[in-house]
Amino acid sequence: MRYHAAKTFEEAASIAAKADGVTRFLAGGTDVLVQLRAGLVTPDDLIDLKHIDGVQDITRLDDGGWEIGVAVAGARLGAHEALCADWPGVVEGMELVGSTQVQGRATLTGNLCNGSPAADGVPGLVAAGAVAKIVGPDGMREIPIEEIPAGPGKTTLAKGELIAAVRLPARGAGGGDAYQRFIPRTEMDIAVAGCAINLRVEGDTITEARVAIGAVAPTIRLVPEAAELLVGSTLDAATADALAAAVSAAANPITDKRGTSEFRTEVVGVLARRVAQTAYDRAKGDRS
């Protein structure tokens, strides 16, 4: 195994592009190092990104959005008051990943690139309309988060490409987002189903919405037909029920050791109803 401490994203991309064996990027390491120790993956090239300038930064952009560096740990997101005020759903998703100790290392980008359909950090990003800033052999590009997962353990990134940062849009007025997952325990578990909703209200009426679901399909999925139901409503009971049904209908889960297909399909709808309420309350000014 060759270890590389890259100084720039371009250098990291160049090393990855030239590598011909198993290549892994190292930011928090909470997936790579665990997989290494368990004997699941032994990289030929391990490219450490933590030494690149700015990777630990959470930056407010000129347009009011946010840029979150590739090596920012979950615990730092949770400690960032302004970010938490803007995007509580994104932060609460990331904070569900692992234990307190893991939170000291684990990163949003790592959670995304691990490619798990059950990644708790990702549905919130998708619902928020976040984009990934990608560096590769052909330069830099930005793509929506939902276009990155390609299936369990897989991403759409090409050889030599890596994510340099994640960008969240400006929050704007009347916005609120939330994420919940279902696990049989209270913590230290993998989502059996997850749902994130981001919406905007004017008065009591929802004017924009995005709904994302996790752990109920090969990838984390945006559900536009569910979001459409929300827009124009005041989240009355009938809308909430229709939302639950639409979300359940969009789910296409497997049965495995963590839950049955039937259970996941039903519960993701239940979560959608609950998450929509929290996002709605937040949009209306309830910051709890």
Task: Provide the binding-site residues for another protein, judged by CB under 8 A.
Answer: 38-39, 182, 184-190, 192, 256-260, 262-263, 266-267, 270
Angle at CA 25, nearest 5°, toward 24 and 30?
95
Helix (H, G, I), strand (E, B) or coil at 198: strand
**Among residues 184 and 285, whose Cβ is nearest to another protein?**
184
Query: CB 255 → another protein: shortest distance, Å?
Result: 9
Q: How far apart are CA 124 and CA 212, in angstroms?
A: 7
The length of the chain, given as a count of residues: 288
Residue tagged 């798990």 (tokens): 116
Q: How far apart are CA 66 and CA 86, in angstroms?
A: 9
**Among residues 40 and 61, whose Cβ is nearest to another protein?**
40
Query: CB 100 → another protein: shortest distance, Å?
Result: 11
Query: CB 268 → another protein: shortest distance, Å?
Result: 10
Q: How far apart are CA 271 and CA 261, in angstroms?
A: 15
**Among residues 55 and 111, whose Cβ is nearest to another protein?**
111
Query: CB 113 → another protein: shortest distance, Å?
Result: 19
**Among residues 65 and 253, whose Cβ is nearest to another protein?**
253
**Among residues 20 and 187, whose Cβ is nearest to another protein?**
187
Helix (H) or strand (E) holding 93: helix 88-95
**Among residues 3 and 144, whose Cβ is nearest to another protein?**
3
Q: How far apart are CA 24 and CA 2, in angstroms?
A: 11
Query: Would you say the C-alpha torsion 228, 234, 240, 241 has a positive or negative sign?
Result: negative
In one-letter notation, the amino acid at residue 280 is Y
Query: CB 116 → another protein: shortest distance, Å?
Result: 12
Query: CB 278 → another protein: shortest distance, Å?
Result: 15
